Amino acid sequence: MGDLLAAPAESAGGLTVHGARAVDGSTPASTRQALVDADVPGLLAAQDPPLWDPRAAAGRGDGGADLLPRLAELAAELADLDHVVLLGMDGTTLAAQAVARTTGHPLTVLDTTDPGRIRAALDDRLARTVVVLTGAAEATPEVDDLRRAYRQAFLDAGLSEAEAGRHVVVVTEPGSPLAAAAAEWEAITVPADPPVSGGSSALSAYGLVPCALAGVPVADLLDQADTFAASLSRPQDNPALTLGAALAAAATTGRDTVALVADGTGVEGLGDWVEHLLAGATGKDGQGILPVAVGSPDEPGLTGPGVLTVSYGGALAAPAVPTGGTTSDVAVNGPLGAHFLAWEYAAAVAATVLGVDPADRPDAAESARHTEAALADPTPTPSSSTDAIQVYAPTGTPDDLSDALRHLLAGLGDHGYLAVTAFLDPHAEAAAARLRPLLAALTRRPVTFGWGPRYLQSTGQYHKGGPQAGSFLQITGTVTVDLPVPGKPYTFGERQAAQAAGDRRALAGRGRPLLHLHLTERSAGLTRLIDAVGSLRA
């Protein structure tokens, strides 16, 4: 790995990219120069639709200064509702979460259908809760289910229909089905331009409304993005172009896994959003960059064959060496508003080099198409059951827990990756995330971790549309206290189980190796599973 301090750096508008020129220069031909020769910066500046949507830049449309007075008015109008809950499973939700974490403002993000987590979120703060939904056409089934749960909770707390409507803010384009539904709910509506596909709505109304209601000074984000935006049309002194060229150059020369890690300098949660962005922008047509959000600098998985290590953080004079001592190949440092634009641009550039449309998500909804049928499908019979874990192993493979895990991991070979997906409570069962570093250390192959159903809209696109090299470990759990979905014939527990089954069907249709483990007692099952993975090392 290169010495970042000695590598050329490129800076503009407060953001600096270290090491990317060296990555590009290590390949037989410069990807960056080819992009300049093809006038890609000029095409982007000219708003060429296949490459870039200009509304992602601050100061354009609903994402710019025109929105600020409306946000200030809305925040003042709802000043007594200081518990902000954002419902959603997409990149905009992850962007808002990164903003809240980085700026230290409280924002509850509900991006799960787990009944335990939903029940916990419906707490005694209802009287001062405002719920935010975002979307262009209509709410996804998951988000509509969550909205129904909150509406019923408001009514049960004694609020009238009109009073309950004041506690719901909908961000959508005028005339959309969601706008019509919001009027029916008597909700507050914030008009917005059609959202950009993928993660590129971070600085639009879709991303800014929940942040503003949470107290974030969103004008600062827009100022940061505006300061940086001028660099995007330049062939030189364009850090975002250099970053995108490095990602593409690495991916086309055998380093198609990008390990993302915070350097501890003040930007928090960005890795989850970048993971969503890169997987969705590039993972299709058998192509793609596999992003792996690593929890801390001392976790396994930051280095290895085929891995490009990228750290991110706040503005610095020199790149920080993460606490774990791993030196990154590339470091991206700057204010959060500039980060959003830089990564959106870089993802579009990398996708273009790979020959895929960065805005298209052709496979992200495939699992959802299987979910409705799975709602009526009985759970299959496990092949074995032991110590609070039911093992659903493919026919002809070992069904003992340890043997089934060994069989799955042995199939990774020298070029595969493992995706761990957990349809559990991300708070109560947070220990499930410990499986990623354990399995990364064990396999020495890329290992991703995603909470279901949120990952279906991020790495889920890469799983189905990217290189078919993945093996999958899916974890589900028995629901002890379920929660009905008001006005629907199913419960949240049944919806969660159907989403997991829908993803299994989608992966089975592609012939991908998959091991399904069901925790009949969640806490004990997780402990048993973590111990079983640890014992494989022996």
**So what's the pLDDT on residue 325?**
55
Distances (CA, A) of 134 to 15, 251, 364, 437: 29, 33, 18, 33
CA angle 18, 21, 24 (to 5 degrees): 135
Looking up tokens 């970048």 gives 274
- 145, 492 in Cβ contact below 8 A? yes
Integer Cα distance of 394 and 299 in angstroms = 31
Integer Cα distance of 238 and 234 in angstroms = 6
Q: Is the pLDDT of residue 458 over 90?
A: no
- 338, 56 in Cβ contact below 8 A? no
**So what's the pLDDT on residue 487?**
96
Three-class secondary structure of residue 488 per DSSP: coil
Q: pLDDT confidence of 6, banded at 50, 70, 90?
A: low
**So what's the pLDDT on residue 370?**
81
Q: Mean pLDDT over residues 207-212, rounded?
A: 96
Three-class secondary structure of residue 289 per DSSP: coil
Three-class secondary structure of residue 258 per DSSP: strand
Q: Is the pLDDT of residue 156 over 60?
A: yes
- 259-318 pLDDT, tens per residue? 999 999 999 999 999 999 999 999 999 999 999 999 888 899 888 889 999 999 998 756
Q: Is the pLDDT of residue 319 over 80?
A: no
**So what's the pLDDT on residue 38?**
93
Q: Mean pLDDT over residues 111-129, rounded?
A: 95
Who contacts 252 (Cβ-Cβ below 8 Å, separation ≥6)?
27, 31, 353, 354
CA proximity to 212, closest of 186, 185, 190, 195: 190
**So what's the pLDDT on residue 171?**
93
Share of the chain above pLDDT 90, in %: 73
Phi and psi at residue 385, in whole multiples of 5°? -145, 130
**So what's the pLDDT on residue 90?**
86
The strand pair at 15-18 and 9-12 is best described as antiparallel
Amino acid (1-letter code) at residue 149: A
Q: pLDDT confidence of 3, banded at 50, 70, 90?
A: low
Integer Cα distance of 176 and 167 in angstroms = 21
Torsion of CA 115, 116, 117, 123, to 10 degrees: 100
Q: pLDDT confidence of 359, banded at 50, 70, 90?
A: confident
The strand pair at 257-262 and 307-313 is best described as parallel
**So what's the pLDDT on residue 315?**
80
Distances (CA, A) of 263 to 49, 240, 313, 331, 525: 34, 19, 6, 9, 33
Q: Is the pTM of this model over 0.75?
A: yes
- 412, 418 in Cβ contact below 8 A? yes
DSSP for residue 48 = -
The strand pair at 417-423 and 447-451 is best described as parallel
CA proximity to 12, closest of 238, 224, 221: 238
Q: What residues does 6 pair with on adjacent strands? A: none
Integer Cα distance of 302 and 105 in angstroms = 29
Q: Is the pLDDT of residue 363 over 70?
A: yes
* Most confident of the following: 3-12, 378-387, 419-428, 449-458: 419-428
Q: Is the pLDDT of residue 101 over 80?
A: yes
Q: pLDDT confidence of 43, banded at 50, 70, 90?
A: confident
Q: Is the pLDDT of residue 56 over 50?
A: no
Q: Is the pLDDT of residue 240 over 70?
A: yes
Q: What is the DSSP string of 202-250?
A: TTSHHHHHHHHHTT--HHHHHHHHHHHHGGGG-SSS-HHHHHHHHHHHH
Average pLDDT, the chain: 89
CA proximity to 383, closest of 399, 398, 396, 397: 399
